[in-house]
Amino acid sequence: MASTSPIEKDQPNTSEGSVTVLGRALSSVITAGREILARRRPNLTAAEGSTQALVDLCKELIEHRGEASGLALAQEITEAYLELSAEARLEFFQRLASDFDIDREALLEATERYRDDPDYDKLQAITRATEAPRQKLFRRINMAPGGTRTLVALRGELLQLLRQHPELKPVDSDLKHLFIQWFNKGFLELRNIDWASPAVVLEKLIDYEAVHEINGWEDLRGRLREDRRCFAFFHPAMGNDPLVFVEVALVDDLPDAIAPLIDREREIMEPGKFNTVVFYSISNCHPGLAGVSFGNFLIKNVVEVLKKEIEGLKTFVTLSPVPGFRRWLNKADLSELVDEALIDKVRAPVNRTVMEAEVQAALTRLCAHYLVREKSGELAKDPVARFHLGNGARLHRLHWGADLTPKGLEQSGSIMVNYLYDLDKIEINHEEYFDEGKISAAKSVLRQLPQD
């Protein structure tokens, strides 16, 4: 039977209706603004795809004072940016770094004036001098319809270029600084996503799922059945485009494999038997928001929502991948961690066939070592471990053979991890992790560590 998508509702909810009214008002203002600009610039014909034309528009926007014409100008910039080729966008990023950077001489002069007479006004002059003009530019672009979305996409493309073009780091730093302000917790809306949600939202879940692929509408329907939940954070400027979402399984025992959790043919458990909440997939939806933390707020908010909704929930746990394990394994010096005779075997690709028990045990011990002892600075080396431990979770259990998908075998040799969110100890674990670099781990995990 062919899969079909759900039908999007014709009637918006109250908040969507408010956004529509605001959108119409902005559209009217921008139309008036375009007319004003046309009268002021009757002979202006910016070359399509021209970086210089876009830079000129940006400089005009920074100096612009009119509200309606300013919004129209900001929209012109977003439209012009989207028309640029990849090569022209790189050139535009480089111009943002050079033409819209801080004025070093002005900053030095402001500093000298404050040194001679350290009053508040001169301190404020230093503050103004340390802000690059491109921050003002980004704030004004952000006011236009679609401006926030365009800036998020712009940073996503910028991040891909940083390794080869480190001169662009100041532009990235300014965007990240602004995004942390614009996307703070107070502006986020938590929504429960179910099969009745708008089709545009459900399509986004399929597109953005980054941990366990959703293979079409029927697969998605299985993940939204009565024993499953999905929650997402939204932002007013991004409409029905989620920022981050988490998929949740309601079960009666600690999970030790991913396949039963996402099996769409599974038997549905009676609601009264639920006692365990499993966070089995967290997906950040926009590369341009990297470094802007949402997931920690999301999990804690979802815990509170589910506690109120369902009686009898006692355990809150993840079933998480270990994405950095095999990458570390293939580069690390294992001579002090495993018998020499096993080194080549543990580094060999893992497949679905039965593996020697000795090799399985060695890989599990090495994974425990990687999660507990391998650090990036003072924090865990593995990115998923760093996220959950930073939230105050405990490294609770390791499971061999938990993810037999090609991705799971390639990244972690089939191993997955339970991180336990003990609500009475979350804050203590969080403080000890960041203050002391201490990783909270269950005794069963510590016993698996290779002996020194």
Residues known to be catalytic: 320, 388
HSE on the CB side for 184, CA within 13 Å? 6
The tokens for 336 are: 């002090």
The distance of Cα 148 from the centroid of its chain, to the nearest Å, equals 16
What are the residues facing 419 on neighbouring strands? 395
Return the SS3 of 135: helix
Backbone angles phi, psi at 45, to 5 degrees: -135, 85
Angstrom CA distances, 176 to 138, 152, 238, 378, stand at 11, 10, 17, 23
The tokens for 89 are: 């966008």
The tokens for 165 are: 């073009």
Interatomic CA distance for residues 129 and 112, integer angstroms: 12
The distance of Cα 187 from the centroid of its chain, to the nearest Å, equals 16
Contact assessment for residue 15 and residue 198, using Cβ atoms and an 8 Å cutoff = no
HSE on the CB side for 315, CA within 13 Å? 20
Element housing 179 (H / E) = helix 169-182
The tokens for 180 are: 């942390």
Contact assessment for residue 199 and residue 6, using Cβ atoms and an 8 Å cutoff = yes
The distance of Cα 315 from the centroid of its chain, to the nearest Å, equals 25
Interatomic CA distance for residues 48 and 147, integer angstroms: 19
Closest CA to 255 of 409, 390, 413, 420: 420
DSSP string, 197-211: S-HHHHHHHHHH--S
